[in-house]
């Protein structure tokens, strides 16, 4: 079977400011652009051809993918899908994480940020960060106001199974440029991670994760391409 390369976008401007971002459409920081360029160079070293690429509706993921493709020097087609968006952080959107942790307390903060099925409070539709006001989603029938990781899983995994698995089974290689919780949710399915342990699965920015599947869809091997930032997360789950 083929290979999937999953890339969490390079550092965004709000990552740099330690803010909850979610569906807010912020761009890459200068460091994020460099991370995307390095991701492209690491992927290029694999000397693989890619048949299709996927990304979210958010420009930090789109721009990461476009930078990678520019480094590869090939014009691969790519599909944008809202289902690959970052988790919606509800009322936490835009808040500084350190300040929010002090306000909520470590236990409640951890529940909102890393629990499997506890979403933060909903973001009001009148908020400047509400996706109801975003032209990107005018055709989306149900726009979330908050999400747990479970909610994110319930849109990411069906999209993956319907739109990506068939290509991998046909021995195609796929690039997916997405987000930390998008890849975390997909990793839960692919690596069969428990509800309790999924919070341990860390996704670094700008370090491509390559996953090789066998003919039955079972994972044969997986690793991060940037050895200088090696994170042997999967084996610890």
Per-residue pLDDT tens for 129-155?
999 989 899 989 999 999 999 999 999
- Look at residue 237 and tell me if it is in a domain: no
Q: Is the pLDDT of residue 216 over 80?
A: no
Mean local confidence (pLDDT), 45-58 = 94
The pLDDT confidence band at residue 183, using thresholds 50, 70 and 90, is: very high
- Assign residue 118 a region (left: φ > 0; alpha: ψ between -120 and 50; beta: otherwise): beta
DSSP string of 87-102, one letter each residue:
PP-GGGTT-BHHHHHH
Query: Which residues fall within 8 angstroms of residue 157, CB to CB, at 6 or more apart?
Result: 185, 186, 189
In a domain, 191, yes or no: yes
Pick the more confident residue, 227 or 109.
Answer: 109
Mean pLDDT of 4-21: 96
* Per-residue CA distances from 92 to 95, 121, 128, 133, 156 (Å): 6, 8, 13, 17, 21
- Known catalytic membership, residue 167: no
Domain count, the chain: 1
Helices (H) and strands (E) in the chain, counts: 8, 6
Least confidently predicted of 39-48, 71-80, 127-136, 228-237: 228-237
> What is the rounded end-to-end Cα distance, in angstroms, of the chain?
25
pLDDT band, very low/low/confident/very high, at 217 (cuts 50, 70, 90): confident
Task: For residue 170, tell me if it sits in a domain.
Answer: yes
Domain membership of residue 210 (yes or no) is yes
Q: Give a yes or no: residue 134 inside a domain.
A: yes
Cβ(117)–Cβ(195) below 8 Å: yes
Provide mean pLDDT across the span 68-77.
Answer: 91
Q: Is the pLDDT of residue 233 over 70?
A: no
Domain that holds residue 124: 3-227
pLDDT of residue 236: 46
The one catalytic residue among 35, 86, 88, 147: 86
Per-residue pLDDT averaged across 205-216, rounded?
89
Domain CATH code at residue 218: 3.40.50.1240
Average pLDDT over residues 182-205: 93
Asked whether residue 230 carries a pLDDT value surpassing 70, the answer given is: no
Residues 6+ apart with CB under 8 A from 139: none
In a domain, 207, yes or no: yes
Residue 236 domain-assigned (yes or no): no
**Active-site annotation holds for 9:** yes
| pLDDT value at 7 more than 60 | yes
Percent above pLDDT 70 for the chain: 96
Is 232 domain-assigned? no
Tell me if 8 sits within 8 A of 203, measured CB to CB.
yes
Global confidence as pTM? 0.94
């Amino acid at each position: 079977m083929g290979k999937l390369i999953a890339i969490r976008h390079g550092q965004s401007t709000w990552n740099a400011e330690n803010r909850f971002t979610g569906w807010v459409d912020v761009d890459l920081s200068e460091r994020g652009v460099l991370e995307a360029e390095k991701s492209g160079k690491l992927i290029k070293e694999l000397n693989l051809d890619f048949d299709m690429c996927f990304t979210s509706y958010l420009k930090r993921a789109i721009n990461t993918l476009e930078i990678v493709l520019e480094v590869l020097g090939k014009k691969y087609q790519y599909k944008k899908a809202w289902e690959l968006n970052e988790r919606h952080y509800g009322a936490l959107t835009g808040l500084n994480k350190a300040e929010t942790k002090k306000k909520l307390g470590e236990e409640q903060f951890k529940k909102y940020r890393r629990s499997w099925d506890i979403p933060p409070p909903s973001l009001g539709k009148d908020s400047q960060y509400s996706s109801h006001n975003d032209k990107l989603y005018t055709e989306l029938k149900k726009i979330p106001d908050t999400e747990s990781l479970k909610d994110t899983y319930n849109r990411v995994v069906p999209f993956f199974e319907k739109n990506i698995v068939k290509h991998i089974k046909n021995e195609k290689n796929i690039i997916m440029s997405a987000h930390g919780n998008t890849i975390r949710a997909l990793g839960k399915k692919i690596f069969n991670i428990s509800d309790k342990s999924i919070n341990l699965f860390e996704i670094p920015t700008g370090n491509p994760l390559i996953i090789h599947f066998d003919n039955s869809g079972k994972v044969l091997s997986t690793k991060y391409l940037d050895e200088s930032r090696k994170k042997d997360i999967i084996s610890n789950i």
